[in-house]
């Protein structure tokens, strides 16, 4: 596996840790900024909306640049957002900081994914994407508890400074470990970048990703109150269960990465079917400790871990350029927004088990979006919006002294 893929995963780890930090420090931030906890919750929503809406726009702006330079620009914007958050004198400035950080994070995902695909052979791209996405999984497993502990002991502003430090280290590693590449294929020609979105099948593929993530986050967003108020675990036990959940996502991500290239649609079908079983089982058995834990770990194994297969399917349907990858990430973020917001409304009307049933319903709908691909002739070539076979990903030649690392 090229060294650069691991380096890019460190950058994603920094981005994801910044995304989650607010969730772990709500009371401290509310006190420090002089607002109520619900308003701090809006910072999470603002970050997600900024990712979904602003990420593609920023990608359009940086896609004209050489790709490594584009990464450094995005690191700079991300770092500025985190420093602004650490220094924020009031809620309004913090809100702006979170929007800036969210936009930069989403664009970074798209550019990093495109570079990852260019640096790896076609037969191992699913594994490479899994390595890249381990930055996301480890952000959940390690980044969130690390930033929470730092914030609780030294103050929430210090947590943002620590994340800024991680971002600086990731940027330096990127300078040293990522080869110098030209502009992305089609970079600079916005019309050429946009033409792929005329393909209706691509939008269906995007919708599958939204439903996979929406199903998972309808449960994950409310797992804490479900485990304490329905299952009966103590508040001190829940963090340990969440660490177990995070470990399950790392394992699942690795397994899916191994299978994503050969069984792209089949992996997603199996993941959605199993997630339906785990979500429905959790809803039915949430009052029983052992089954509840088993179902939670199952959701960890087959939920967000579908990312390598999701990304592979999107790239085969559209292309592997930064804009397509960023828009795909926006649809993933939309799944987070839908799952968490609709799940909250469902709790108000039907109780704490309702988000679990909602997740099961979204998983079932997700299976339906796979049917057109399941009906396609085995081995059929993915097509572009014009109906012609999709061209292979073009790998820009590296500049002198920027040779790619050895392939796995």
Report field, pTM of the whole predicted structure over 0.85: no
For 62-79, the pLDDT digits (tens) are 878 888 899 999 999 999
Among 156-160, 380-384, 395-399, which range has the highest average pLDDT? 156-160
Query: Residue 381's pLDDT is what?
Result: 41
For 10-61, the pLDDT digits (tens) are 999 999 888 878 877 878 888 899 988 778 877 887 888 898 888 888 888 8
Q: In whole angstroms, what is the distance from residue 326 CA to residue 57 CA?
A: 9
- 115 against 208, higher pLDDT: 208
Write the CA distances from 103 to 12, 59, 87, integer angstroms.
13, 9, 19
Does residue 279 carry a pLDDT above 90? yes
Write the CA distances from 91 to 33, 81, 214, integer angstroms.
6, 14, 29
Lowest mean pLDDT among 46-55, 90-99, 198-207, 284-293: 46-55
Q: Which residue has the tokens 């917001």?
A: 341
Query: Residue 364's pLDDT is what?
Result: 97
Query: Residue 185's pLDDT is what?
Result: 56
Domains and CATH numbers, the chain: 3-375 (1.20.1250.20)
Q: What is the mean pLDDT of residues 199-220?
A: 94
Q: In whole angstroms, what is the distance from residue 230 CA to residue 376 CA?
A: 44
Give the pLDDT band of residue 392 (cuts 50, 70, 90): very low
Q: What angle do CA 290, 296, 300 make, to 5 degrees?
A: 145
Q: What is the mean pLDDT of residues 135-145?
A: 78
């Amino acid at each position: 596996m090229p060294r650069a893929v691991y380096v890019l995963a460190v950058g994603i780890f920094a981005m994801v840790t910044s995304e989650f930090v607010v969730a772990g420090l709500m009371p401290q931030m509310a006190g420090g900024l002089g607002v109520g906890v619900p308003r701090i919750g809006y910072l999470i929503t603002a970050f997600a909306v900024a990712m979904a809406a602003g990420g593609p726009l920023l990608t359009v702006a940086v896609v004209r640049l050489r790709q490594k330079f584009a990464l450094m620009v995005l690191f700079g914007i991300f770092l500025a957002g985190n420093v602004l958050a650490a220094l924020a004198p009031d809620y309004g400035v913090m809100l702006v900081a979170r929007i800036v950080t969210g936009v930069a994070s989403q664009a970074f995902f798209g550019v990093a994914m495109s570079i990852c695909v260019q640096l790896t052979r076609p037969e191992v791209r699913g594994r490479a994407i899994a390595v890249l996405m381990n930055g996301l999984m480890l952000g959940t497993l390690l980044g969130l508890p690390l930033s929470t502990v730092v914030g609780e002991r030294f103050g929430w502003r210090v947590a943002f400074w620590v994340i800024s430090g991680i971002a600086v280290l990731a940027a330096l590693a990127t300078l040293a470990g990522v080869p110098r590449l030209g502009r992305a294929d089609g970079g600079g020609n916005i019309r050429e970048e946009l033409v792929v979105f005329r393909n209706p099948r691509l939008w269906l593929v995007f919708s599958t990703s939204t439903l996979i993530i929406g199903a998972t986050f309808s449960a994950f967003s409310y797992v804490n109150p479900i485990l304490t108020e329905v299952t009966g675990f103590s508040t001190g036990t829940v963090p340990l269960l969440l660490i177990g959940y995070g470990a399950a996502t790392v394992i699942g991500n690795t397994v899916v990465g191994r299978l994503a290239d050969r069984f792209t649609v089949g992996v997603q079908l199996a993941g959605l079917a199993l997630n339906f079983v785990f979500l429905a089982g959790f809803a039915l058995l949430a009052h029983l400790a052992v089954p509840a834990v088993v179902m939670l770990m199952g959701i960890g194994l087959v939920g967000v871990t579908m990312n390598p297969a999701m990304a592979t399917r999107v790239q085969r349907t559209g292309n592997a350029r930064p804009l397509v990858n960023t828009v795909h990430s926006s649809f993933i973020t939309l799944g987070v927004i839908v799952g968490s917001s609709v799940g909250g409304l469902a709790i108000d009307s039907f109780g704490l088990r309702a988000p679990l049933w909602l997740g099961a319903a979204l998983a079932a709908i997700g299976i339906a979006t796979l049917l057109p691909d399941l009906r396609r002739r085995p081995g059929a070539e993915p097509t572009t919006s014009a109906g012609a076979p999709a061209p292979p990903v073009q790998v820009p030649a590296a500049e002198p002294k920027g040779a790619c690392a050895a392939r796995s």
